[in-house]
Amino acid sequence: MGKKEILKKRNKKRAKTLEHKRKIKSFEEIIFSQAFSIIGGLTAGTLLAIYTDRILLIPGLFILLPGFLEMGNAISGSLSARISSKLHLRELTHSILIKNIIASFVLIILSSISLGAITYLLSRFIFGIDNLRLILIPIVAAVISGIILLPLTSKITITLYHHHEDPDNLIGASSTTLGDIINIGAILLAITILL
């Protein structure tokens, strides 16, 4: 067997080993991200279980809650995905990052206004609950959440990118987990402020 063939065979074996290691690492990251997501979700659920009495003070809040969580996760998830794509393409600058955060903040405020209106209308016409606080709660909560969540999501995305080969598996978990905890906290705080 020639030297070239031996080298070729060795390189092939090495490539196979590297591919196998990459697969395992990616799998580990997905498992880790799900574990992180479960822990975060359970923390949010436990918060709900502890403050059930406060939630029951606002009739119709169960209609608002999933929409608000969804809105926060969608916006912070998109923000981190955009930052991640820019990082992969090596196009992320400070200016682009700031623009993305501002756009996400405007989005979260605009969406919370429409979410409040939708929730109010749904609870008014389906359950006969006439509670104007249902419009104000998501707006106040969105301001609180936006100030904390968006810069934090960006920072975590960039940190994960610099410390992991494939951050896509962890970015989603970190943004939705943080999103759920911060958003439930923001809603509870908004209820306290507005009651």
Partner 1 sequence: MKKIIATIIKESLRIVILASLLSSIGGIGLELIQKKLIAILPLLIVFPALNNMIGNFGTIISANFTTLLFTKQLHAKWKSKKLKELLHQLAITAFFSSILLATIANLIAYYKGFPLTLDVFLKVLLIVTICVSILVTLICLISITAGFYYYHLNEDPDNVLIALATSIADLGALIIFSVLIYLIF
Give the residue, chosen from 137, 141, 154, 172, that forms a contact with partner 1 under the rule CB under 8 A.
Answer: 172
Alpha-carbon gap, residue 176 to 178, rounded angstroms? 6
Binding to partner 1 (CB under 8 A): which residues in 61-90?
62-71, 73-75, 77-78, 80-82, 84-85, 88-89
Stretch that binds partner 1, among 3-11, 112-120, 147-155, 185-193 (CB under 8 A): 112-120
Distance from C-alpha of 108 to C-alpha of 90, rounded to nearest angstrom: 27
Residue with tokens 């090495």: 14
Tell which one of 21, 45, 130, 159 touches partner 1 (CB under 8 A).
45
In the complex, the smallest distance separating the C-beta of residue 13 from partner 1, rounded to whole angstroms, is 19
Stretch that binds partner 1, among 4-12, 25-33, 146-154, 186-194 (CB under 8 A): 25-33
Residue in 18, 56, 57, 195 binding partner 1, rule: CB under 8 A = 56
- Member of 171, 186, 190, 191 binding partner 1 (CB under 8 A): 171
| 153 counts as binding partner 1 under rule CB under 8 A | no
Treating both helix axes as pointing N-terminal to C-terminal, what angle do 133-163 and 168-194 enclose, rounded to 10 degrees? 150
Phi, psi of 132 (to 5 degrees): -65, -20
Closest alpha carbon to 80 in 5, 194, 173, 195: 173
The CA-atom distances, in angstroms, between 161 and each of 37, 89, 90, 100 are 18, 12, 11, 17
- Decide if residue 173 touches partner 1 (CB under 8 A): yes
